[in-house]
Each structure stands twice: as structure tokens, then as C-alpha cells.
């Protein structure tokens, strides 16, 4: 008759001597290994027992195997815990201290605002397109009805690129996203067009609380039969409500851009002084902050695309994304955005 109790005692005595991983593994293979482990072999021996002894033999062999499994797990735990305790007392390392949090990056507030603007227009059926930041003067100005020597070129103090392309084509850092009106029309066979073009623009500005030399715009263009000024107003009003909520006030002023007729500017009520500050730095005492220019696409630009301007009409707009970001968070100076101060950027 196999002496299970003696075997168990022998196994446990051996186990108590094993102090590291390799020794534990050797013990496991010796006793519990699937092929030749002693406990496993005993279990397989059930079939060689006389019929009347099989049940009690099997139960005892199973109990032995289970006891050894449990003992191994307990021994592994005890060794791991002892190692941690040793580390905590010997090394100058307190393993109970919480870890240092990894600083998580986040999207720049202008990027967040850009995405919200794009989403607002996308929900109204505008598709997103892109265009180059280094642009031909021909697109930035001429195609937009701003010929050389036209005083309107002074509206955008331009950063020119030194090199002439093909010896003659002047290039610049685009001063607005409007050249993409021409670029989009050029690659569209026939209206309808309903597109927005987000991107960075550059101007040689004397910077102040609302002007930076780099700015982000979203150009919008819709051309189709029967597009009217009321469509422009409705679209931009809906945009303002999506971004600023139902109670924000907007106002349209007449304005001049050579590529639209008529032209307007849309402004939102100043959140800083609420219209009360004559010397408010942000709205310059007007009570309003301009966030976009817009207007009805000039018929000449529609004709330049090869379309019949007596059949097709359109509206266009250019949103200043930094201005929108200033307004929605009540930020008092546009220059914060590009100074890379994490104390500022971390707040959004
Ligand atoms: N491109 C103009 C600007 O940068 C804005 C604008 C876009 C105005 C489209 C009218 C239509 O000031």
C-alpha cells in the first residue's frame, strides 16, 4: 500500500528548501510534471490497483496532487512577498509610494476650436478640402481680383518668398485661405460646391491682443443655382449658435473684399467688457469682436471658373479661428496661443 502521507511529507520538506525560481520549477517538474512527476505518475497508477482498492487509492492520489499544487502556490507567494519586503527595507526605495504620473499631452486650444468649427460646418453639409501654405501670388491675389498695385493688397501685409518659380511666378506665404476658392472651383466640373478649407495663414502684423503674424482660418465656399445672401446669413448664424450657444449676439457690418460683392464682416459681442469698456483692449471699445469676413462670390470669379454667373451664385466666408477661441474661453490676448507656455496651454 502506497504511503501517501510519507510522500507528502517528503515533498513539502523539499519544497521548503527551494528558495528561487529555478529551484521551484525543478521541484514542480519532479513532483507535478505531467509526464514523470511523482504525484502525476501515482495518479496514473490507479488502473493497476485491485478493483476494490481503486476508489480509495484514487482519492488519496488526488488529495496529494492538490496538496502539492496548493503548497507550490503558497511558497511562490511567500517568496515574492519576502523579496518585496527585502527591497523595501534594504534599498532606499519605498515601493508603497504611488508612481509619478506621466504628463499627458493634449490638443492645442486652437486645434480644438478648429475641429469644433469644422464639425459645425460639416454638419451643415460642407466637405473639407486643403490647399498649400506657400502659395502663388497668382492665386492669393490675382485670382481673387487683387491685381498688382491694387490698394487692396495693402490689406494683407505679405511675407514673400524670395525665389521666383520658373523664373517668373511669385510665391508668398498665403495671407488668407481665399485662394482656395479659385483652387476648388478649378478642380470642380460644375456646381454645386459646398466646401470648407481650414489652414494657417501669415501676415506681417504689428501684433497686439487680437492680431498675430500667424493665424488660422477656415475658408468656406458654396456655389449653386439660387444661392442668396440669406443663405450666407443663415449658415453663419447657425455656425455662431453651434459654437457660442443660443444667447450669444452677432452683428453683420458692411465691408469690402475685392472677391465678394456685397461684402460683410460678422462680429460677436465682446465677452470682456460686455460693451461697457471705452478702452477695452480686446474690442477696442466697440463692444464687438470681428470673427469672420464674408460675402457673395463676385460674378467675375464664377465666370473665371468657366461657369455662367447668370445661372450660378455663391457665398464665401473666412473664419478667424484664434478669434473664435479667444471668445469661447474668454482669453484676453491672442499672443498666448503661440508662446508655448504650458501654464496657459494646460488649461484647455
Ligand atoms: N479672406 C478674407 C480675409 O482674410 C476673408 C474673407 C473670406 C472675406 C471670404 C470674404 C469672403 O480677410
Buried b vs exposed e over 291-327: b needs ≥16 C-beta within 10 Å?
Answer: bbbbbbbbbebbeebebebeebbbbbbbbbbbbbbbb
- To the query of whether residue 39 is one of the catalytic residues in this protein, the response is no
- To the query of whether residue 203 is one of the catalytic residues in this protein, the response is yes
Nearest CA to ligand 1 atom 3: 176
Q: Concatenated DSSP letters for 88-153? A: HHHSS--TTSPPPPPPPP---HHHHHHHHHHHHHHHTTPEE----SEEEHHHHTGGGT--TT-GGG
Phi, psi of 212 (to 5 degrees): -130, 160
Q: Which of 210, 293, 296 to mutate to test the pocket of ligand 1 (most atoms within 8 A of CB)?
A: 293
Q: Report the separation in Å between the CA atom of 41 and the middle of ligand 1, taken as the mean of its atom positions.
A: 86
Residue-wise pLDDT for 225-250, tens only, equals 999 999 999 999 999 999 988 878 89
223 touches ligand 1 (CB under 6 Å): no
Regions of the chain where pLDDT drops below 50: none
Residue-wise pLDDT for 298-335, tens only, equals 999 999 999 999 999 999 999 999 999 988 898 889 99
Give CA angle at 241 (175, 119), nearest 5°.
60
**Ligand 1 atom having least distance to the Cα of 177:** 1
User: What's the predicted TM-score (pTM) here?
Assistant: 0.71
257 touches ligand 1 (CB under 6 Å): yes
Cα gap 284→308, rounded to integer Å: 43
Phi, psi of 298 (to 5 degrees): -60, 135
316 touches ligand 1 (CB under 6 Å): yes
Looking at residue 249, what is its pLDDT?
A: 86
- To the query of whether residue 347 is one of the catalytic residues in this protein, the response is no
Amino acid at each position: 500500500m502506497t504511503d501517501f502521507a510519507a510522500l507528502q511529507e517528503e515533498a513539502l520538506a523539499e519544497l521548503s528548501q527551494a528558495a528561487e525560481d529555478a529551484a521551484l520549477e525543478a521541484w514542480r517538474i519532479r513532483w507535478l510534471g505531467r509526464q514523470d512527476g511523482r504525484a502525476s505518475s501515482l495518479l496514473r497508477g490507479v488502473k493497476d490497483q485491485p478493483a476494490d482498492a481503486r476508489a480509495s487509492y484514487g482519492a488519496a492520489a488526488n488529495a496529494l496532487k492538490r496538496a502539492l499544487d496548493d503548497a507550490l502556490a503558497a511558497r511562490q507567494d511567500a517568496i515574492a512577498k519576502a523579496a518585496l519586503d527585502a527591497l523595501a527595507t534594504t534599498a532606499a526605495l519605498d515601493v508603497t509610494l504611488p508612481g509619478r504620473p506621466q504628463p499627458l499631452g493634449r490638443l492645442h486650444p486652437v486645434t480644438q476650436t478648429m475641429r469644433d468649427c469644422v464639425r459645425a460646418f460639416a454638419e451643415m453639409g460642407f466637405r473639407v478640402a486643403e490647399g498649400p501654405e506657400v502659395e502663388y501670388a497668382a492665386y492669393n491675389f490675382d485670382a481673387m481680383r487683387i491685381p498688382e498695385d491694387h490698394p487692396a493688397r495693402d490689406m494683407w501685409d505679405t511675407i514673400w518668398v524670395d525665389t521666383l518659380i520658373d523664373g517668373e511666378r511669385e510665391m508668398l506665404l498665403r495671407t488668407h485661405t481665399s485662394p482656395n476658392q479659385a483652387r476648388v472651383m478649378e478642380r470642380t466640373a460644375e456646381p454645386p460646391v459646398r466646401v470648407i478649407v481650414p489652414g494657417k495663414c501669415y501676415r506681417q502684423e504689428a501684433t497686439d491682443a487680437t492680431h498675430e503674424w500667424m493665424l488660422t482660418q477656415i475658408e468656406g465656399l458654396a456655389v449653386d443655382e439660387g444661392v442668396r445672401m440669406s443663405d450666407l446669413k443663415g449658415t453663419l448664424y447657425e455656425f455662431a449658435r453651434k459654437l457660442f450657444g443660443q444667447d450669444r449676439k452677432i452683428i453683420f457690418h458692411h465691408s469690402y473684399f475685392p472677391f465678394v460683392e456685397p461684402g460683410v464682416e460678422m462680429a460677436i459681442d465682446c465677452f470682456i467688457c460686455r460693451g461697457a469698456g471705452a478702452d477695452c483692449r480686446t474690442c477696442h471699445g466697440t463692444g464687438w469682436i470681428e470673427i469672420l469676413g464674408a460675402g457673395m462670390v463676385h460674378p467675375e470669379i464664377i465666370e473665371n471658373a468657366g461657369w455662367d454667373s447668370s445661372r450660378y451664385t455663391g457665398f464665401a466666408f473666412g473664419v478667424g479661428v484664434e478669434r473664435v477661441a479667444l471668445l469661447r474661453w474668454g482669453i484676453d490676448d491672442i499672443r498666448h496661443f503661440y508662446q508655448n507656455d504650458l501654464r496657459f496651454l494646460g488649461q484647455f
